[in-house]
A and B are shown apart, each in its own frame.
Chain A
Amino acid sequence: MDDLLNEFLTETAESIDVVDVELVELEKDPNNKSVLDNIFRLVHTIKGTCGFLGLPRLESVAHASENVLGKFRDGEMEVTPDAVTLILESLDRIKEILAGLEATEEEPNGDDSDVINRLNAMANGEDIAPAVADIDEKVVAEGPVAVPDPTPVEEDDISSAIVAEPSLPGDVTLEELEAAWAAAPGPDDEPEEETAAPTAADSSTGSLFDRVGGEDALNVIVHLFHNRLLGDMSFKSAYDGVNLRDQKTRVVSYLKALFETEDSAHDNGLEDAFGPLIQAGVDGERAALVIGYFRSVMEEINAAPLLVEEAVTRFHELGLLIVSHSEKYAQSQVTAQKKKDTQSKPDAAAKKASETSVANQSIRVSVHLLEDLMNMVSELVLTRNQLMQISRRSGDSEFTVPLQRLSQCTTELQEGVMKTRMQPIGNAWAKLPRIIRDLQVDLGKKIDLQMLGADTELDRQVLELIKDPLTHMVRNSADHGLEMPEERIAAGKPEVGVVRLNAYHEGGHIIIEITDDGRGLNIEKIKQKALANEVVTEAELADLTDQQIQRFIFHPGFSTAEKVTSVSGRGVGMDVVRSNIEKIGGTVDLKSTEGRGSSFIIKIPLTLAIVSALIVKSSDERFAIPQISVLELVRASKDSEYKIEHINATPVLRLRDRLLPLVYLRDVLGAESDEEEDANREEFIVVTQVGGFTYGIVVDQVFDTEEIVVKPVAPLLRDLSIYSGNTILGDGSVIMILDPNGIAAETSDVMSENEHVSETELMADTLSSNRETLLVFRVADDGGQHAVPLSLVARLEEIDVESIETSDGRPVVQYRGKLMPLVKLNDGYDMKESGRQPVLVFSDGDSSMGLVVNEIVDILEDQMNIELASEIQGIVGTAIIGGKATEIIDVAHYMAEVFGGLGGFQSAENEAALAKKKSNVLLIDDSAFFLNMLKPLLSAAGYRVTAVDNAQEALSLRDQGYDFDVIVSDIEMPEMDGFAFAEAVKQQDNRWADVPLVALSSRTNTQDFDRGGQVGFNDYVAKLDKDMLLSALDEMLAESEDAA
């Protein structure tokens, strides 16, 4: 492509982006002169360049919008949203044409008359009529103060040039103008003349001065002319510190003299009138610019074309004079400079010069060149690494020092090149104000877009990749997130919704938060959608936290918007966003509170080219794992604090408060594993995070971290999702870079045979309702294992055998100021005779009981499926725990035995209840364990308990005519769950409809409580909370008593 055209395209595209943003800014603050000037200047430049390059379509559109902008600028028209929309539209048209131009190198054909006509209509229709009317009105009403329309302009210019403090437009205007007009002779006399003059001018005869419209018209012209000059940054500085009012007066008198005669321009008073210009340095080119300004002013006051030409011709002479004076001045400056080396006053020219030099300090470089440079630096880094390795191996040599120097230079070079690729993230945000603005108009919402940390820098490549996802997310926030103004007011929020972008660095990453204060994610809707899309089953859903459920929106096909708008809601959004972000090694997470808003947190690496990687070894090969996804390293061996445990052959690691799923890298790699060796091997676990999913990769060995340059793998190997690339290490060998994303995807396939990779599945797996944390113990050295749910155990104690006393023929011990009876599981073993005796302490209210055991084996999390029910009192049954047959003990039995025996262990209330009447309780739970546990407990508390293990059976009891005072039901049951059961019970005309219902569940989050309440449960009790259950029952019965 033509270099010139290329340059033009880049520059224009940039300008247009700026104009986009500035227009939105302007709409918010129509009086912001500097913004308007900037917009005007940019559009003007676009127009000018188009004309120069011979692009008539572009030029005409740009010209039309410049016209409208000109009216804004001169205050002839108000900045209205409609007008801004129209100009934005014209910019869009310009963008379209530019796109065509870029593709074909020719201006595409098309008709822009619609836009142009509307722009012109706006410029003419709305300016001429009101403008004239305006003037008349003001003239009549305000007399001397009456001014032609360009008032706001003058005010602002003057204030910026003369008045130091920024002033409000309204009040200053009049003062300033008054002063301005007072300075000019005789404006008060015939104020009408100035409007009449330009139009009448062409017909008049006489000197140019008269024909232009006399002194009043000249005042206007000079004023407008100065506005133009001040609008141009290169001239504006020259007028800094100049009293504009006086300056204008001098110009007016000079021009008056010039226009009154036919004489050519003269030096007299020139320095006075155009001093700042002369000092600013005006060469031929810039003189043309000045003359252009003058011409546009003449055109603007609607002077007749002939008159314009004449005036411009005269002005042209003046321009040449200014140029020659300017040259002289510059020379004199130089000599003056030479004479007096230190000129204390920094004059305008010097200032100007320094400005230019600043402008010259940056150059445009093609991205390709930078990419190449980056590649070369990457290679250099690799070679450096190699050399360093060799040097380390060979010990001290004469190469060592120069190598170190080389290394340092390389590092600096690398940093430098990286810096050239860094761009502020604000570049990716540049389009957002416009998008939000359009959304406001389209959706009728009020949105405040806040952008924080726009100058946070990140790699260009990353920036490009993050741009679209960001835009999408901001759109989403504005469209789905924020409510309509009415809804917001109804919800007690401010009418204007906030979308906030915040970017900051955090340890080699850049974090971008997109927050809105809108309605937040609707969890119910997401649940329904998840079920409808068959992403999860109802049962799995029950175990998920709200945050896990919210993350479903990152799955394909998730859009909870009720209607598809033009903006978003087509369901191809967040999953693409996620995959795009993950593609560059980033992660995205969200937090959302219903009714309060959502927050998306994107974490991305600063750069992609050179990454830090952890080198590990597995099955005799080395691999690199990008450091960014590595959270920590854990060493596990048989006898260390951490060891790998297995749940049904699935390896897991207990890491602090969580269970970490593990993946053996050698399994992933398909290598043979040696069972024997595995058992004794020392393993390293690389704790890896992919999105919200954390898992451990088990490797044989961990080496160092190394800076690596990621290179793509050969096309032959692209299908292998477990690799993200390969690289050459410092020692010259090639190693593969593992992709934690890919590994997670692969392994969870294997683990759950479900293609969706997310924490949710794994969590569902570990949290599945049958899973219990069990305390495993032994009562005799050679005896079998026993277990009890850990949640029932209050404490583990070791009691000094000597402190055991006997009371009523039973062993007791003083424990926390009370007597605690000690029981044995059975008579098959004896308490220790000396030393310390391990005891499991169970508590119920104030009373505690100690169960004497021989040895506490372990605490395990496992499925508790009771395989064999037990006939023996005190044993619920036998289950396989940790691979061994284990008797589950019935704590309630021992409690009843001990406390029943001792008497007085029921609370007073219970006794009262007991005294009153024996209540019938129906207990429904599919778990034999709980039935067996609760039944004695409730019996002990004085209830008559009927226990069934499924809801159907309970209902059939109803049909058979049984009656109960209260029903206690589990929630998670096969076939008919607790909710369905409650609904069935609470149906109209149901005999049991008035029986109080208590839900018993391990699911105790708020949603479940609410749901329980909806379907008719009177109370909701956590499964293992005996006290709660008992008090709930008491309460329930008391209530129904009262009611009866």
Chain B
Amino acid sequence: MTTVNRQFVTIRLAGQLLGIPVLEVHDVLSPHNITAIPRSPKAVAGVLNLRGKIVTAIDLRERLSLTAFEDVDRCMSVVVEHQGEPYSLLIDSVGEVLALPEDRFERNPVTLDARWQEVSSGIYRLEDQLLVILDVERLLDFGLEQATAA
């Protein structure tokens, strides 16, 4: 039997294991100096300099309505790209790269929090815990939502 394996970078955020498709991750960053941007949407932690490129840092805890980071300047982050712009997602820690067969991918339980439903494309049942797969597109597509809310 040939099943296509998909690879995910696992990250940890407030105890929860999350996965991002490995091909979407451009970089994993150690803590960076982040310049806060007053008046920006809450989920925007600021901007940082990644090898001469300006990257917008997204506070993933804020984005997913979790408790706030203790210090955003000490966060690890993974850099993803959305519509040609680089974003760094602030997280607690980075785990490993998992190769998981496609046929074990499951849809979200319907009872999952609407906010999570919105940004997650589905889950994997790992042996000891659940892995929530993040949909980067939807995760970063909150500019519009913000604009309409404003």
Please give the residue numbers on chain A whose beta carbons come within 8 Å of chain B beta carbons, in ascending order. Answer: 379, 382-383, 619, 621-622, 669-671, 711, 714-717, 719-720, 722-723, 726-728, 732-736
Q: Are the CB atoms of A726 and B54 closer together than 8 Å?
A: yes
Interface positions, chain B 21-48, Cβ under 8 Å from A, are 33, 35-41, 44, 46-48
Interface positions, chain B 51-67, Cβ under 8 Å from A, are 52, 54, 56
Q: With A714-B85, A716-B44, A719-B147 as given contacts, are A736 and B37 in contact (CB-CB < 8 Å)?
A: yes
Q: Are the CB atoms of A720 and B52 closer together than 8 Å?
A: no
CA–CA, A712 and B26, complex, Å: 21
Q: Nearest residue in B to A619 (C-beta to C-beta)? A: B38
Nearest-neighbour CB distance to chain B for A250, whole angstroms, equals 71
Q: Are the CB atoms of A734 and B35 closer together than 8 Å?
A: yes
Nearest-neighbour CB distance to chain B for A997, whole angstroms, equals 56
Q: Are the CB atoms of B143 and A715 closer together than 8 Å?
A: yes
Please give the residue numbers on chain B whose beta carbons come within 8 Å of chain A beta carbons, in ascending order. Answer: 33, 35-41, 44, 46-49, 52, 54, 56, 83, 85, 87, 140, 142-143, 146-147, 150
Q: Are the CB atoms of A734 and B49 closer together than 8 Å?
A: yes
Partner of A714 from the list B36, B52, B56, B146 (CB cut-off 8 Å) is B56
CA–CA, A735 and B146, complex, Å: 23
CA–CA, A735 and B47, complex, Å: 8
The 10 residue pairs across chains A and B that have the minimum distance between CB atoms = A669-B38, A714-B56, A734-B47, A716-B143, A734-B35, A734-B49, A728-B49, A714-B85, A734-B54, A670-B39
Residue among B35, B41, B147 with the highest chain A CB neighbour number at 10 A: B35
Q: Are the CB atoms of B143 and A720 closer together than 8 Å?
A: no
CA–CA, A723 and B40, complex, Å: 10
CA–CA, A25 and B55, complex, Å: 54
Q: Are the CB atoms of B48 and A720 closer together than 8 Å?
A: no
CA–CA, A711 and B52, complex, Å: 11
Chain A residues contacting B54 (CB-CB under 8 Å) are: 711, 714, 726-728, 734
Q: With A714-B56, A733-B33, A734-B54 as given contacts, are A720 and B49 in contact (CB-CB < 8 Å)?
A: no
Q: Nearest residue in A to B34 (C-beta to C-beta)? A: A734
Q: Are the CB atoms of B40 and A717 closer together than 8 Å?
A: yes
Nearest-neighbour CB distance to chain A for B42, whole angstroms, equals 11
Chain A residues contacting B52 (CB-CB under 8 Å) are: 379, 382-383, 728
Mind listing 10 A-B residue pairs with CB under 8 Å? Answer: A379-B52, A621-B36, A622-B35, A669-B39, A671-B38, A714-B87, A727-B54, A733-B33, A736-B35, A736-B37
Partner of A722 from the list B39, B56, B142, B146 (CB cut-off 8 Å) is B39
Q: Are the CB atoms of B85 and A717 closer together than 8 Å?
A: no
CA–CA, A619 and B39, complex, Å: 13
Q: Nearest residue in B to A735 (C-beta to C-beta)? A: B35
Residue among A383, A669, A734 with the highest chain B CB neighbour number at 10 A: A734
CA–CA, A104 and B113, complex, Å: 52
Q: Are the CB atoms of B83 and A720 closer together than 8 Å?
A: no
If A714-B56, A734-B47 are given as contacts, then 14 extra A-B residue pairs at C-beta distance below 8 Å, sorted by A number, are A622-B35, A714-B85, A715-B143, A716-B140, A716-B146, A717-B56, A720-B39, A723-B37, A728-B49, A728-B52, A734-B35, A734-B46, A734-B54, A735-B35
Q: Are the CB atoms of A670 and B38 closer together than 8 Å?
A: yes
Chain B residues contacting A711 (CB-CB under 8 Å) are: 54
CA–CA, A754 and B140, complex, Å: 34
Q: Nearest residue in A to B52 (C-beta to C-beta)? A: A379
Chain B residues contacting A732 (CB-CB under 8 Å) are: 33, 49
CA–CA, A379 and B48, complex, Å: 16
Q: Are the CB atoms of B37 and A717 closer together than 8 Å?
A: yes
Q: With A728-B49, A733-B49, A734-B48 as given contacts, are A716 and B56 in contact (CB-CB < 8 Å)?
A: yes
Chain B residues contacting A734 (CB-CB under 8 Å) are: 35, 46-49, 54
Q: With A714-B56, A728-B52 as given contacts, are A719 and B150 in contact (CB-CB < 8 Å)?
A: yes
Q: Nearest residue in A to B47 (C-beta to C-beta)? A: A734
Q: Are the CB atoms of B83 and A715 closer together than 8 Å?
A: yes
Chain B residues contacting A670 (CB-CB under 8 Å) are: 38-39
Q: Are the CB atoms of B33 and A717 closer together than 8 Å?
A: no
Chain A residues contacting B39 (CB-CB under 8 Å) are: 669-670, 720, 722
Chain A residues contacting B56 (CB-CB under 8 Å) are: 714, 716-717
CA–CA, A722 and B38, complex, Å: 10
Residue among A382, A383, A716, A736 with the highest chain B CB neighbour number at 10 A: A716
CA–CA, A382 and B53, complex, Å: 11
Nearest-neighbour CB distance to chain B for A377, whole angstroms, equals 13
CA–CA, A112 and B148, complex, Å: 51
Nearest-neighbour CB distance to chain A for B55, whole angstroms, equals 8
CA–CA, A716 and B143, complex, Å: 5
CA–CA, A382 and B35, complex, Å: 17
CA–CA, A332 and B33, complex, Å: 74
Chain A residues contacting B140 (CB-CB under 8 Å) are: 716
Chain B residues contacting A716 (CB-CB under 8 Å) are: 40-41, 44, 56, 140, 142-143, 146
Q: Nearest residue in B to A728 (C-beta to C-beta)? A: B49
CA–CA, A722 and B37, complex, Å: 11
CA–CA, A122 and B48, complex, Å: 69
Chain A residues contacting B47 (CB-CB under 8 Å) are: 714, 726, 734, 736
Chain A residues contacting B38 (CB-CB under 8 Å) are: 619, 621, 669-671
CA–CA, A382 and B83, complex, Å: 25
CA–CA, A621 and B33, complex, Å: 12
Chain A residues contacting B85 (CB-CB under 8 Å) are: 714-715
Nearest-neighbour CB distance to chain A for B70, whole angstroms, equals 18
CA–CA, A716 and B141, complex, Å: 9
CA–CA, A732 and B35, complex, Å: 11
Q: Nearest residue in A to B41 (C-beta to C-beta)? A: A716
CA–CA, A722 and B40, complex, Å: 10
Chain B residues contacting A720 (CB-CB under 8 Å) are: 37, 39-40
Q: Nearest residue in A to B50 (C-beta to C-beta)? A: A734
Chain B residues contacting A726 (CB-CB under 8 Å) are: 47, 54
Nearest-neighbour CB distance to chain B for A783, whole angstroms, equals 47
Q: Nearest residue in A to B36 (C-beta to C-beta)? A: A621
Q: Nearest residue in B to A719 (C-beta to C-beta)? A: B147
Nearest-neighbour CB distance to chain A for B52, whole angstroms, equals 6
CA–CA, A669 and B40, complex, Å: 10
CA–CA, A807 and B35, complex, Å: 76
Partner of B44 from the list A717, A722, A733 (CB cut-off 8 Å) is A717
CA–CA, A670 and B49, complex, Å: 24
CA–CA, A621 and B38, complex, Å: 9
Residue among B54, B56, B143 with the highest chain A CB neighbour number at 10 A: B54
Q: Nearest residue in A to B33 (C-beta to C-beta)? A: A733
Nearest-neighbour CB distance to chain A for B3, whole angstroms, equals 37
Residue among A622, A715, A735 with the highest chain B CB neighbour number at 10 A: A715
CA–CA, A383 and B51, complex, Å: 10
CA–CA, A382 and B52, complex, Å: 8
Chain B residues contacting A722 (CB-CB under 8 Å) are: 39
Chain A residues contacting B40 (CB-CB under 8 Å) are: 716-717, 720
CA–CA, A35 and B33, complex, Å: 63
CA–CA, A732 and B56, complex, Å: 15
Nearest-neighbour CB distance to chain B for A553, whole angstroms, equals 32
Residue among A669, A670, A717, A727 with the highest chain B CB neighbour number at 10 A: A717
Chain B residues contacting A735 (CB-CB under 8 Å) are: 35
Q: Nearest residue in A to B150 (C-beta to C-beta)? A: A719
Q: Are the CB atoms of A621 and B44 closer together than 8 Å?
A: no
Nearest-neighbour CB distance to chain A for B72, whole angstroms, equals 14
CA–CA, A720 and B143, complex, Å: 12
Q: Nearest residue in A to B147 (C-beta to C-beta)? A: A719
Nearest-neighbour CB distance to chain A for B89, whole angstroms, equals 13
Chain A residues contacting B33 (CB-CB under 8 Å) are: 732-733
